[in-house]
């Protein structure tokens, strides 16, 4: 860098933006890549990670079905939780960890995971209850959607399986493994994958675009109609919590609390009658939804522009090009096809 530039305000780091400074005629001008092209390239990598997730999931399922692990999974509750933890680590954590390494090798996509403190402790406190309330509201909406589909002759296989229930552990080690498999590992690894590695680079193209895109892919990743609508609603809430507080830990905490509530209600079935558990469940779910609504009102009064998020560095990119990426198209089509297989007629 020449001496004239070093004497500019800011040490010459942004010489073309200094007030009163005209670019010399012979100064080199760097050619900027199109924001839409950058977004398209990012989509290629994101779609590749989703395809890797599908591949690893298929391989994991193949190994499970073709070995003695299948019988162990069916007949040993503690072993099934260990296998579920392994599935989350290898099928969700591994593909997105590879994506994280790949993206940070390139200047245009490099990012850091927001794992530090929050912008405002009080706002983060409010948003934990807002996020939890929205997640539970999404669960209620999904249940009504499933029941409505059943009434018109289109049932969800996964919903019927959920109604049948699953055995719950009665020993301390079993309960611990259930908590880790059902609540802790999904909260950590799914938030790392979707609100971290997937959403953070997309924020350069606008926070709302990043939140909605990551929520959509998060929903499809669940691969069934019982969880997909819920995950779409929850994904928006979790993404907003991470963006508005400046920390992934907020979304992780909301995700963890939501899953822990499900675990707690499942464990109550060992001690209470089904009708009593239903009363407790409704009280907890609708109670937290009410608290979440109150927290949302307080947060909105404290932050009147709470829906106005950052437009991003590459705000002028044509957002639709993300969904024109071959890898994203293939991944979305496969995931959507799997989700639709969950719908049965009659």
The string of DSSP letters for 203-220 reads: GGG-HHHHHHHHHHHHHH
Highest mean pLDDT pick, 13-27, 56-70, 196-210 = 196-210
DSSP summary character for residue 177:
H
Cross-strand pairs, 343: 156
Give the model's pLDDT for residue 273.
86
State the angle between helix axes of 207-221 and 35-66 in degrees (0 to 180), rounded to the nearest 10: 20
State the angle between helix axes of 35-66 and 326-340 in degrees (0 to 180), rounded to the nearest 10: 40
CA distance 222 to 232: 10
Q: Please report, for residues 117, 258, 263, 273, 292, the alpha-carbon distance to residue 113 in angstroms, rounded to integers and kept in the order given.
A: 12, 22, 28, 44, 27
Give the model's pLDDT for residue 299.
97
Give the model's pLDDT for residue 346.
66
What's the mean pLDDT in 4-29?
A: 38
Give the model's pLDDT for residue 31.
53
Local confidence band at 160 (pLDDT 50, 70, 90 cut-offs):
confident
* 163-167, 301-305, 318-322, 334-338: segment of lowest average pLDDT: 163-167
What's the mean pLDDT in 32-53?
A: 94
The pLDDT > 70 percentage for the chain reads 90
| Of 333 and 6, more confident | 333
pLDDT at residue 8 is higher than 80: no
What's the mean pLDDT in 89-112?
A: 95
Local confidence band at 164 (pLDDT 50, 70, 90 cut-offs):
confident
Local confidence band at 178 (pLDDT 50, 70, 90 cut-offs):
very high
Q: What pTM, to 2 d.p., does this model score? A: 0.88
H/E stretch holding 155 reads strand 154-156
Question: What are the domain boundaries of the chain?
Answer: 34-345
Helical H segments across the chain, by residue range:
3-6, 35-66, 69-75, 77-87, 94-103, 121-151, 157-164, 172-179, 185-190, 199-202, 207-221, 228-245, 248-268, 274-302, 326-340
């Amino acid at each position: 860098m020449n001496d004239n530039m070093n004497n500019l305000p800011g040490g010459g780091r942004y010489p073309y933006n200094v007030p009163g400074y005209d670019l010399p005629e012979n100064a080199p001008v760097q050619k900027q890549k199109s924001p839409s092209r950058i977004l398209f390239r990012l989509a290629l990598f994101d779609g590749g990670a989703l395809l890797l997730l599908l591949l690893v999931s298929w391989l994991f399922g193949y190994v499970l079905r073709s070995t003695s692990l299948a019988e162990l999974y069916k007949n040993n509750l503690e072993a099934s939780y260990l296998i579920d933890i392994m599935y989350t680590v290898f099928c969700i954590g591994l593909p997105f960890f590879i994506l994280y390494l790949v993206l940070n090798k390139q200047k245009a996509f490099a990012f850091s995971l927001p794992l530090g403190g929050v912008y405002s402790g009080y706002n983060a406190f409010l948003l934990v209850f807002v996020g939890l309330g929205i997640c539970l509201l999404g669960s209620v909406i999904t249940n009504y959607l499933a029941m409505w589909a059943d009434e018109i002759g289109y049932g969800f296989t996964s919903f019927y399986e959920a109604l049948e229930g699953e055995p719950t552990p009665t020993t301390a080690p079993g309960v611990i493994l259930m908590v880790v498999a059902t609540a802790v590992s999904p909260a950590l690894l799914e938030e790392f994958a979707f609100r971290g590695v997937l959403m953070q680079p997309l924020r350069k193209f606008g926070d709302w675009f990043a939140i909605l895109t990551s929520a959509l892919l998060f929903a499809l990743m669940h691969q069934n109609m019982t969880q997909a609508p819920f995950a779409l609603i929850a994904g928006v809430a979790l993404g907003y919590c991470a963006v508005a507080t400046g920390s992934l830990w907020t979304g992780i905490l909301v995700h963890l609390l939501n899953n822990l509530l499900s675990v707690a209600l499942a464990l109550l079935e060992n001690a209470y009658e089904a009708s009593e558990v239903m009363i407790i469940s409704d009280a907890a779910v609708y109670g937290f939804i009410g608290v979440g609504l109150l927290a949302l009102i307080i947060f909105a009064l404290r932050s009147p522009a709470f829906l106005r998020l950052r437009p991003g560095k590459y705000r002028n990119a044509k957002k639709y090009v993300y969904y024109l990426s071959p890898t994203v198209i293939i991944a979305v089509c496969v995931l959507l096809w799997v989700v639709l297989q969950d719908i049965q007629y009659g």
